[in-house]
Copies of this chain bind each other. A is one copy, B any other.
Amino acid sequence: MHPASIVAGQPRRRYNRVRIVQFDSISLDGGMTLAPVEVAYETYGELNATKNNAILVLHAFSGDAHAAGIDKETGATGWWDNMIGPGKGFDTDKYFVICSNILAGCRGTSGPGSINPETGCPYAMNFPPVTIPDMVRLQKMLVEHLGIERLLAVSGGSMGAMQALQWAVAYPEAVAAAIPIAGTARHSAQQIAFNEVGRQAIMADPDWNEGNYYGKRPPARGLSVARMVGHITYMSDTSMREKFGRRFRDQDQFEVESYLRYRGSQFVDRFDANSYLYITKAMDYFDLTQGQPSLSAAFVGAKSRFLVISFTSDWLYPSYQSLEVVRALRGRNCDVAYCDLPSTYGHDAFLVHVNEQADLVRGFLSSTFRERS
Contacts and interface: CB of A to CB of B under 8 A. Distances in A.
Contact of A188 (B240, B255, B318): B240
Contact of A229 (B197, B206, B240, B257): B197
A232 B200 contact: no
A338 interface: no
Interface stretch (A14-22, A40-48, A218-226, A364-372): A218-226
Contacts of A243: 189
A193 B246 CA distance: 11
B200 A225 contact: yes
24 contacts: A188-B237, A188-B246, A189-B237, A189-B241, A189-B243, A189-B254, A190-B232, A193-B228, A193-B231, A193-B232, A196-B254, A197-B225, A197-B229, A197-B232, A197-B260, A200-B225, A200-B228, A204-B204, A204-B205, A204-B221, A204-B225, A225-B225, A237-B318, A246-B287
Contacts of A197: 225, 228-229, 232, 260
A315 interface: yes
A213 interface: no
Contact of A240 (B186, B189, B222, B232): B189
Query: How big is chain A's contact interface, by range?
Result: 35 or more
Interface of A: 186-190, 192-194, 196-197, 200-201, 204-206, 221-222, 224-225, 228-229, 231-232, 235, 237, 240-241, 243-246, 254-257, 260-261, 264, 284, 287, 315, 318
A205 B222 CA distance: 9
A256 B204 contact: no
A157 B325 CA distance: 38
Give 5 nearest A-B pairs by CB, closest first.
A204-B221, A189-B240, A189-B244, A189-B256, A196-B257
Given A190-B237, A193-B260, A240-B190, A225 B246 contact: no
Given A186-B246, A189-B254, A224 B200 contact: yes
A224 to B, nearest CB: 7
Nearest to A204: B221
A206 to B, nearest CB: 6
Given A189-B254, A200-B228, A201-B201, 17 more contacts: A188-B241, A189-B245, A189-B246, A190-B241, A192-B254, A193-B240, A193-B257, A196-B254, A197-B225, A197-B260, A201-B204, A204-B224, A206-B206, A225-B225, A237-B315, A237-B318, A254-B284
